[in-house]
Amino acid sequence: MANNKDSQKFVRNFLKGTEEFGSRFWKSIFRHIWLERARTRSLETMSNVLLHLHPTAIRRASLKMTYTFCLGGLSFFFFLTLIVSGVLLMFYYVPSVTQAYQNIKDLETVVFAGQFLRAIHRWSVYAMVITVFLHMCRVLYTRAYRPPREFNWIVGLMLLLVTLLLNFSGYLLPWDQLSFWAVTVGTNTTKVTPFLGPEAQFLLIGGYEIGQNALLSFYTLHVITLPLVAAGLMSLHFWRVRKDGFSGGL
């Protein structure tokens, strides 16, 4: 009886709170109101994927820091760092064969904190490749790829591929000797693509050798196409982490 009264009081408080609390728009984002009660506070947090990525019920063992080493979260953190530093770098860079090299030199020598900005971007790329790889090893080691997480494992593999492609497409942009020859060698390997053959290389670099078309094509892939694909796959990955349940302790 007391429980029933309590819950009625709770609903009354909740409705009163939502009226006072805010607009329909706000409520569509935050399902529960932040009443000063332990229950509503936890409901607010747990019902929001931005505040609580993991499913609400997880095994105790998976709460241990040593279970995930936070490697998935770190990969995401480095991705965000890359987006922010990359957008800032775009202010100083023109994807043209006559300007790109000079732009990077100016960034290193003239622009205030330009060297620092470039270093942040470059080191975050390395860090992301390492953390994504280690995260995959952790998933393998804990056998978290087993049902019902097979689909998320495949999404993860796609994320690994996109991470490597993001890395490779950025390599050409400084337009120096190292990047030119590395990408020449790299794109030559596409000539052996089954069925397409040399046409695959032509499609990728927009010609028969690395030049203006290739630079523009890599730039577009690097700053628009691949980051959007990565962001879409990450949303799917996170949604599946929540829906599939967390593997800890299995």
Closer Cβ to ligand HEM, 179 or 247, answer by number? 247
Instruction: Give the footprint of ligand HEM on residues 45-104 (CB under 6 A).
Output: 68, 71-73, 75-76, 79
Contact segment (CB under 6 A) with ligand HEM among 13-21, 117-125, 154-162, 211-219 equals 154-162
* Measured distance CA(220)–CA(183) in Å, rounded: 16
Instruction: Give the footprint of ligand HEM on residues 205-234 (CB under 6 A).
Output: 234
152 binds ligand HEM, rule: CB under 6 A: yes
Closer Cβ to ligand HEM, 95 or 170, answer by number? 170
Cβ of residue 117: shortest distance to ligand HEM, in angstroms? 22
Cβ of residue 79: shortest distance to ligand HEM, in angstroms? 6
163 binds ligand HEM, rule: CB under 6 A: yes
Single residue of 100, 107, 117, 139 touching ligand HEM by CB under 6 A: 139
Closer Cβ to ligand HEM, 180 or 246, answer by number? 246
Single residue of 80, 90, 137, 157 touching ligand HEM by CB under 6 A: 157
Place of tokens 């080493």: 69
Cβ of residue 73: shortest distance to ligand HEM, in angstroms? 5
81 near 124, Cβ under 8 Å?
yes
237 binds ligand HEM, rule: CB under 6 A: yes
What HEC string does the chain produce? Answer: CHHHHHHHHHHHHHHHHHHHHCCHHHHHHCCCCCCCCHHHHHHHHHCCCCCCCCCCCCCHHHHCHHHHCCHHHHHHHHHHHHHHHHHHHHCCCCCCCCCHHHHHHHHHHCCCCHHHHHHHHHHHHHHHHHHHHHHHHHHHHCCCCCCCCHHHHHHHHHHHHHHHHHHHHHHCCCCCHHHHHHHHHHHHHHHHCCCCCHHHHHHHHCCCCCCHHHHHHHHHHHHHHHHHHHHHHHHHHHHHHHHHCCCCCC
Instruction: Give the footprint of ligand HEM on residues 24-43 (CB under 6 A).
Output: none
Query: What does the binding site for ligand HEM look like in residue numbers (CB under 6 A)?
Result: 68, 71-73, 75-76, 79, 132, 135-136, 139, 142, 144-145, 149, 152-153, 156-157, 159-160, 163, 234, 237, 241, 246-247
